[in-house]
Structure 1
C-alpha cells in the first residue's frame, strides 16, 4: 500500500457538515465513520477452530453478524476486521467475515517470518479477496513471540506485503520500536499503521518518544485505539499523549478503532466512539471527522474513496 498523503485526502473527501458540540455530527450521512480495529471470533466452533499455537482462546463468539448489527445501531459505515492471534495464519474465519460483511468489511492478515511456508500463503489469500485484505500485521510485545528482528526473513515478509500493495500494521511495546525502524526507513513507499497509540503505557515516556518521532516518516499512520485506563497501572493520563500524537502526525495520518467485542451493543459501540471524540476535543471539527473515518476511508478505499 502506497503511503497516504495529505493532498490525496483533500482531493477525495468532499464536503461534510460541522460536528455537534458533543463531539461529531454522528447522524450526518456525509460524515463517514470507519472503525479500523476490531476482532471477530467464532468461539468454540468446530468449523473454525483455534490454532494449536493460539496464545488465548475466547470462549464467547464475536461474529460478523453481530458486528454488522452493532455498526448499524452505532452509525459505523465501514470496519476493518483485524485477524486475531488465536487463529495464527489460518484465515478461514476472516474469509467468512469478509463474505458476510461484503463491501462494509475489510481485513488484515497475519503471517510469520520465522515459520517455513507461512509467508508464502499471503499472496493466495490476497488474490482470493481483491481489495479486501489491506494490511499484514506484525506483533512485537511478548518476549517469547517476537519477530526475527534484523533478519532476511522479516524483511521478506515486509517485502511480500509491500509487493502485494498491503500496509504493514505494527502492534508492539515501545521498547521494540528500534528493531522495526530500519524496515520503515527502507520500505518508504509502504504505509505503516501503528496500532494502539504505540502502546504508550507499556513503556516509559522516553521509549514511547521513539514512536512519536516516527511521525517524521511520511508513510506512518497512527491509530487511536485501545485507549489506556488512567485508573490502571501506570496511572498516567492519556490525554497529553494523544495531544502529542495529534501534534506530531496530524489528522491526515491518524485513524480510530475499537469498541466492538462479544458483549458490545449499538449503544456501547457508539459510546466508545464518543469517548474517542472527547479525547480529540482540542482539534477542529474537520480534523475529528478525518480521524473518525475520513482518513481511513481514503486510506483503505472504502466505498470507492
Structure 2
C-alpha cells in the first residue's frame, strides 16, 4: 500500500461520516483552454472538426453552468511556435480581465530553443504567468525531454520561479521521471493523470506514476482522461482505477482538479466529467476533496 493511501482515502468510519453532508463545492479549474478564432487559430484545429470552433470564456461559462468555478488557470493551446508570444499576451490579458475567473496562465514555449531565455525572461516578470508547457506527444519523439538543451530550459524555468506542466504519452513517463529527478529545483505538474491506457493494462502506468510521485517537486493533475472514452460505452468504474491511483500515489496535498475544457468534450461534456469525478471521490474525507477541487491549485499555481 502506498504510504499516503489511508491518509487520502480515509478508510475509517469517522472519515466516512465526515464526508457525508458537505458545504457547496468551490472549484478551481486548473486546466482551461481558451481560444478565439478571430484572434488566434491553433493549427491542429484544422484536423479536428469537433473542436474547430470558438472556445471563449463565454462558452466555458455555458459549459460549466451550475458549477461554482471561483478561479481558473489558462493552459496553452499548442499554437505554432511563432505565435507563442502572441498567445502569452492574450493569456495575460485574460488574467487581467475581471469579467472572467482566470487568474493565472501556463503559457506555451520551447525550452530547447536557442532563444528560450530571451523569450521567457520578460514574460516571467508578469505575475499572471505561472508556468509553461510544451506538449510532448504527437510528433515529439521519445526521449526529447531529456536532451541537454531541453533540460537547461526546464532548469531556467525553476530559476525564474515558474513550473512546467508535463503532457506526454504514458509510454514516455519513464522519461518524465528522469527529468523531474534531474531538475529537482523546478516544480512540475503531471497533466491528465499521465495519459494512461484507460481501457488497457495499467501496470506499467501505475509503476511509472509511483516513481514520479515519489519526487517532492511534482504534483498530479486529475484531468483529461474523460477524452479517452470517445466512441465507447463507459461508466465511472472505467475511470475510477486511474483516479484512485493518482490520489493514492500523490496524496491529499499534491493532486488538483482540471476540467480540460473544451478538449474533454471529445469524450463527454465538462459537467459529465465533474459528476463522474465526484462519484469516484465521494467517499474520501470532505477536507481532502476540498484540497483536490480548490486548495491545492491555489497553492501550486500561486493564485491570488
Aligned counterpart, 2:76: 83
How far did 1:116 drift? 3.5
Identify the residue that residue 106 of structure 1 maps to in structure 2: 104
Do structure 1's residue 251 and structure 2's residue 259 form an aligned pair?
Answer: no
The answer (yes or no) to whether the contact 1:140–1:147 under 8 Å persists in 2 is no
C-alpha distance in structure 2 between counterparts of 1:190 and 1:109, whole Å: 16
Q: Could you tell me how far 1:252 is from its partner in structure 2?
A: 0.6
User: Alignment partner of 1:86: what SS?
Assistant: coil
Partner of 1:222: 220
Do 1:38 and 1:258's aligned partners in 2 also have CA atoms closer than 8 Å?
A: yes
Partner residue in 1 for 2:188: 192
- Kindly indicate whether residue 203 of structure 2 is the aligned counterpart of residue 206 of structure 1: yes
Say whether 1:39 aligns with 2:33: yes
Residue in 1 that maps onto 2:120? 122
Any idea what the Cα deviations from partners look like across 1:116-165, whole Å, max 9, x if unmatched? Answer: 424521111222x22x1111113222144667333221012101211111
Conservation of the 8 A alpha-carbon contact between 1:49 and 1:87: no
C-alpha RMSD of the superposition:
3.1
Task: State the distance in 2 between where 1:103 and 1:233 align.
Answer: 33
Structure 1 runs not aligned, ≥5 long: 1-17
Relative to the length of structure 1, the TM-score reads 0.76
Cα distance in 2 for partners of 1:201, 1:72 equals 30
Equivalent runs, 1:1-305 vs 2, <5 Å:
24-26=22-24, 32-43=26-37, 45=38, 48-50=39-41, 54-57=43-46, 58-67=51-60, 73-88=66-81, 89-90=84-85, 91=87, 92-101=89-98, 104-127=102-125, 129-130=126-127, 132-144=128-140, 148-201=144-197, 204-208=201-205, 209-228=207-226, 237-258=238-259, 260-261=261-262, 269-303=270-304
Deviation at 1:296, TM superposition (A): 1.0
Distance 1:147 1:133, change over 3 A: farther
Structure 2 unaligned blocks of 5 or more: 1-17
TM-score by length of 2: 0.76
Instruction: Please state how far the C-alpha of 1:259 moved relative to its aligned partner.
Output: 5.9
CA distance in 1, matches of 2:233, 2:211: 22
Deviations along 1:37-76, one digit per CA (max 9) or x if unpaired, are 0100112x1xx2336xx33345311113444676675211
Report deviation, 1:177: 1.6
> 2: CA distance between counterparts of 1:204 and 1:141?
20
After TM superposition, give the deviation of residue 112 of structure 1 in Å: 1.0
2:256 and 2:189 map into 1 onto residues whose CA distance is: 9
Deviations 1:183-238 (A, max 9, x none): 21132232210000111127752331212321111111111111345575798922
Question: How big is the shift at 1:257?
Answer: 0.7
Moved more, 54-63 or 141-150: 141-150
Q: Pick which of 212-221 and 182-191 moved more.
A: 182-191
Counterpart Cα distance in 1 of 2:230 and 2:52: 27
Other structure's SS at 1:107 match: strand
Q: Distance in 1 between matches of 2:216 and 2:31?
A: 22
How far 1:262 sits from its partner (Å)? Answer: 9.4
Deviation at 1:111, TM superposition (A): 0.9
Aligned residues: 270
The answer to whether the Cα contact below 8 Å between 2:112 and 2:152 also exists between their aligned partners in 1 is no
Of the structure 1 ranges 149-158 and 54-63, higher mean CA displacement relative to structure 2 is found in 54-63
